Chain A
Amino acid sequence: QVQLVQSGAEVKKPGASVQVSCKTSGYTFTTYGISWVRQAPGQGLEWMASISSYNGDTIYAQKFQGRVTLTTDTSATTAYMELRSLRSDDTAMYYCARDPRLTRESVPNWFDPWGQGTLVTVSS
């Protein structure tokens, strides 16, 4: 079955960076994209960015432009999300999710399945 398994919880200080990994299995990695979605405490879901595992094309939400970088390792069927210049309001559960985006012209209009989530806490 399709599975996405994320790396463990992180505690970071303001100004630091964090990298979260998303190991996939059960499907051909290069035939789907990976999106990252976060949920701050008591808040709703917020889409951050998407990367095509086919050609590495990325698209970022305007809010995160310049602060987040998505990459993939095709041989390891793993996606990575790096968020820099962390602030206290970046404290959230971060999820990776498979999406259908393969090319620049397509959009990630659904997310399935999702990883189990990685809690990132930013605190001094």
Chain B
Amino acid sequence: QSVLTQPPSVSAAPGQKVTISCSGSSSNIGNNYVSWYQHLPGTAPKLLIYDNNKRPSGIPDRFSGSKSGTSATLGITGLQTGDEADYYCGTWDSSLSGGVFGGGTKLTVL
């Protein structure tokens, strides 16, 4: 059971937009920055979003992040087949004094 809650799967057609939610509490998302990762099988996870809504160099602006209260959202526009992957949200939990991740969301581009 993950501390952060994500939908197990989402799907959309190529070119469309999808959002992935991440729900937490005041001890984690509510008072700490959120980051998002893309994980393709057999590769290392890749940072997509940090500090709630910032993109590292090299990440296209098709990827966006937002946070409101104790929830965060990853948005992906202009979906491509190469975006098929597992996506994880992560943050710090002040009560646990540790990093926490969501359970992951599998994105299928139909």
Real complex partners, A and B?
Answer: yes
* Alpha-carbon gap, A97 to B32, bound state (A): 19
Q: Which among B10-18, B19-27, B42-50, B69-77 touches the partner chain?
A: B42-50
Determine chain B's interface SS by DSSP, over half rule.
strand
Interface mask (B25-42 → A, CB under 8 Å = 1, otherwise 0): 000000011010101000
* Alpha-carbon gap, A113 to B35, bound state (A): 13
How extensive is the interface on chain B, given as a class? 20 to 34
Chain B residues within an 8 Å CB radius of A95? 44-45
* A95-B45, A115-B44 as given contacts; A110 in contact with B33, CB under 8 Å: yes
* Alpha-carbon gap, A69 to B90, bound state (A): 23
* Alpha-carbon gap, A117 to B44, bound state (A): 7
In the complex formed, the residue of A with least CB distance to B104 is A44
Report yes or no: B101 in contact with A46, Cβ–Cβ below 8 A: yes
Interface mask (A15-56 → B, CB under 8 Å = 1, otherwise 0): 000000000000000000001010000001111001000000
In the complex formed, the residue of B with least CB distance to A115 is B44
Report yes or no: B33 in contact with A114, Cβ–Cβ below 8 A: no
Report yes or no: B100 in contact with A111, Cβ–Cβ below 8 A: no
Report yes or no: B44 in contact with A45, Cβ–Cβ below 8 A: no
A116 interface residue, CB < 8 Å from B?
yes
Report yes or no: B92 in contact with A108, Cβ–Cβ below 8 A: yes
* Alpha-carbon gap, A112 to B103, bound state (A): 19
Supply 20 further A-B pairs (C-beta < 8 A) apart from A62-B96, A115-B44: A37-B101, A44-B101, A45-B101, A46-B101, A47-B90, A47-B98, A47-B100, A60-B98, A61-B96, A107-B99, A109-B32, A109-B90, A109-B99, A110-B35, A110-B50, A111-B35, A111-B47, A113-B46, A113-B47, A116-B44
What are the 8 closest A-B residue pairs judged by CB atoms, nearest first?
Answer: A47-B99, A112-B47, A114-B44, A110-B50, A107-B92, A61-B98, A110-B35, A45-B101
Footprint of A on B, CB under 8 Å? Answer: 2, 32-33, 35, 37, 39, 44-47, 50-51, 56, 88, 90-92, 96-104
